[in-house]
Chains A and B, each alone.
Chain A
Amino acid sequence: MNWIAAQRRAFLLALRRLAATPLNTLLSVLGIGIALALPVAGYLLLGHVTALAQGTAATPQLTVFLAVDAERKTAQAVEAKLKAESAVAKTQLLAREDTLARMKNAGASGGLADAIAVLPKNPFPDAIVITPADDAPGAIDQLAATLRNAREWRDIEHVQVDADWARRLAALIRLAKTGVLLLASLLGIGLLAIVFNTIRLQALTRRDEVEVSRLLGATDGFIRRPFLWHGSLLGLAGGLLAWLIVAGAVFWLRLPVAELASLYGIDLLLALPGPLESVLLLGGAALLGWLGATLSIGQHLRHME
């Protein structure tokens, strides 16, 4: 019997064994499918959030504030000097009177206008919005540090990097990615455990067959092969179920999520896993199933010595 014929025999045998214990098969596939669906859903969601974050943080800016009592001439001088800097692409001076007017209007419906009205004088300083020439986080940080610390910029009272929130989001996304990875690892181990146990039970029920096969001259490879297919098929079926669960969730949640996002002015349409992601999911699940079966049947055969 050549290799392909041997694999074919083992594959068909594994299918028969799966079908012979439908309830066990169903339970294992359910366990694997649900365990895999969680990290897959997390991964997809993260992909969406990452894409959104990249879209919004495209133009980071710095705002420098002068002292409240600084004169307009100082502000203009600072702006002129900033314009001459090579790290600065564009500047925009926000006069403190304009800021006050804008804030009064913006706060018209709330208590902000009232609060501003009772203040004895304009609380806002002159400000200059800077668009940096290089929008890499490192370059922006360096520019901000220079403006904060250098003696020639001592007229600047406060520097604010507007991309801070975007970086906080990026840090959050990184944390979430680690979380998803951790979840995937844990549930991957769970999958291994499910397959390990299923194959162990299979091997125990087929103890006689294994023993007789050995006495008739079967190699360990011959005995192992159907069990490995069994585990791989369980993993594959679980991966398929996970895909279906995620696809179902996407279709079900697509409209409500889009509605909610649009309230925040965000354009978010949940998408199905892509072809590459789907293949990776199914392949990874089958591989984990194979690995679980390898560990289980190997342990069992050693134990049967």
Chain B
Amino acid sequence: MIRFDRISKRYPPDITALTDISAEIGAGELVTITGHSGAGKSTLLRLIPAIERPTGGSLLVNGQNVGSLRRSALPYLRRNIGLVFQDQKLLFDRSALDNVLLPLEIAGFPLKEAKRRAEAALDKVGLLKRARALPIALSGGEQQRLAIARAVAHRPALLLADEPTAYLDADTARDVANIFIEFQRVGVTVLAATYDASLFPVARQLRLDHGRLT
């Protein structure tokens, strides 16, 4: 599903974020990326939906070379990927349901079908009762679950999560981690950057240290 081949990423003037990364993630796997803060976990994740481009090596996602994709092709790459961001990036001017509707509208679902899927996604993360609530009225754990619902509403084959359990208390973190584990059980490929690999006991681990795989 994803193949990193001697990937490197540098930022000008002289900062190296990733060096010589080669790894493969198969369809249906649950993989965690672990490592210290600044090891390059987020950077590695951001390469996959081409939020950033590698400066060396090649990255294949679903057989497509992401590094050389034209800008106009990026939207279609991203629609196959569910993204959960470290800072969640929820839109605070609209309800939880409308947040989850956004990727479905982008993907072009008719409104009725989009609503159905959005409610299904909210139900899956246990937020259906809060569908009309504004994100600001949700707790930290609920906001994180809302972000997950938005990422999976259009049923992508690949789910990327950057520190999905950061800022959550231990119990809530376990709940959130379990949601990802459940998605992997139904066939979704899950790749999560995390500081706490013990939350994902069944996952294969990629360990990063100063931009290198160990």
Binding site for B on A (CB under 8 A): 1, 5-6, 9, 208-209, 211-219, 222
Asked if B78 and A217 sit within 8 Å, CB to CB, the answer is: yes
Asked if A216 and B110 sit within 8 Å, CB to CB, the answer is: no
Considering the complex, which residues of chain B in the window 84-123 have a beta carbon less than 8 Å from any beta carbon of chain A?
85, 89, 91, 93, 102-103, 105-111
Asked if B108 and A219 sit within 8 Å, CB to CB, the answer is: no
CB distance from A223 to the nearest CB of B (A): 9
Asked if A1 and B105 sit within 8 Å, CB to CB, the answer is: yes
CB distance from A53 to the nearest CB of B (A): 57
Beyond known contacts A5-B111, A9-B105, A217-B78: 7 more, CB 8 A cutoff: A215-B49, A215-B85, A217-B75, A217-B81, A217-B103, A217-B107, A219-B72
| B110 proximity list for chain A (CB < 8 A) | 1, 5
One of A9, A209, A216 near B103 (C-beta < 8 A): A216
With A and B bound together, what is the CA distance between A1 and B72 in angstroms? 19
One of A208, A217, A219 near B89 (C-beta < 8 A): A208
Asked if B83 and A215 sit within 8 Å, CB to CB, the answer is: yes
| A208 proximity list for chain B (CB < 8 A) | 89, 91
One of A1, A215, A216 near B109 (C-beta < 8 A): A1
CB distance from B106 to the nearest CB of A (A): 4
| A6 proximity list for chain B (CB < 8 A) | 108
With A and B bound together, what is the CA distance between A218 and B89 in angstroms? 15
| B111 proximity list for chain A (CB < 8 A) | 5, 9
Q: Which 7 pairs show the lowest CB-CB distances between chains A and B? A: A217-B78, A217-B79, A1-B108, A216-B103, A218-B106, A217-B75, A219-B75
Asked if B106 and A216 sit within 8 Å, CB to CB, the answer is: yes
B186 at interface (Cβ–Cβ under 8 A)? no
With A and B bound together, what is the CA distance between A9 and B115 in angstroms? 14
- Could you count the A-B residue pairs with CB atoms below 8 Å apart for me: how many are there? 49
| B102 proximity list for chain A (CB < 8 A) | 212-213, 216
With A and B bound together, what is the CA distance between A211 and B91 in angstroms? 10
With A and B bound together, what is the CA distance between A209 and B150 in angstroms? 14
B76 at interface (Cβ–Cβ under 8 A)? yes
One of A5, A9, A215, A222 near B78 (C-beta < 8 A): A215
| A9 proximity list for chain B (CB < 8 A) | 105, 111
| A209 proximity list for chain B (CB < 8 A) | 91, 93
- Given A1-B110, A5-B110 in contact, is the A216-B78 Cβ separation under 8 Å? yes
With A and B bound together, what is the CA distance between A185 and B106 in angstroms? 38
- Given A216-B78, A217-B76, A219-B75 in contact, is the A211-B89 Cβ separation under 8 Å? yes
B15 at interface (Cβ–Cβ under 8 A)? no
CB distance from A4 to the nearest CB of B (A): 11
With A and B bound together, what is the CA distance between A244 and B9 in angstroms? 60
With A and B bound together, what is the CA distance between A6 and B51 in angstroms? 26
Question: Which of A212, A216, A218 neighbours the largest number of chain B CB atoms within 10 Å of its CB?
Answer: A216
One of B77, B91, B93, B106 near A222 (C-beta < 8 A): B106
CB nearest to B80 among chain A residues:
A217
With A and B bound together, what is the CA distance between A185 and B144 in angstroms? 53
Question: Which of A208, A211, A215, A219 neighbours the largest number of chain B CB atoms within 10 Å of its CB?
Answer: A215
With A and B bound together, what is the CA distance between A213 and B106 in angstroms? 8
| A216 proximity list for chain B (CB < 8 A) | 78-79, 83, 102-103, 106, 150
CB nearest to B114 among chain A residues:
A1
With A and B bound together, what is the CA distance between A9 and B110 in angstroms? 10
With A and B bound together, what is the CA distance between A1 and B49 in angstroms? 23
CB distance from B190 to the nearest CB of A (A): 18
CB nearest to B77 among chain A residues:
A217
CB nearest to B92 among chain A residues:
A208
Asked if B107 and A212 sit within 8 Å, CB to CB, the answer is: no
CB distance from A259 to the nearest CB of B (A): 56
Asked if A215 and B91 sit within 8 Å, CB to CB, the answer is: no
| A217 proximity list for chain B (CB < 8 A) | 74-79, 81, 103, 106-107
| B105 proximity list for chain A (CB < 8 A) | 1, 9
- Given A217-B75, A217-B78, A219-B75 in contact, is the A212-B108 Cβ separation under 8 Å? no
| A213 proximity list for chain B (CB < 8 A) | 102, 106
5 interchain pairs, CB-CB under 8 A: A1-B109, A212-B91, A214-B75, A216-B102, A216-B106
With A and B bound together, what is the CA distance between A219 and B74 in angstroms? 8
Question: Which of A9, A209, A218 neighbours the largest number of chain B CB atoms within 10 Å of its CB?
Answer: A218
With A and B bound together, what is the CA distance between A222 and B103 in angstroms? 11
Question: Which of A208, A212, A213 neighbours the largest number of chain B CB atoms within 10 Å of its CB?
Answer: A212
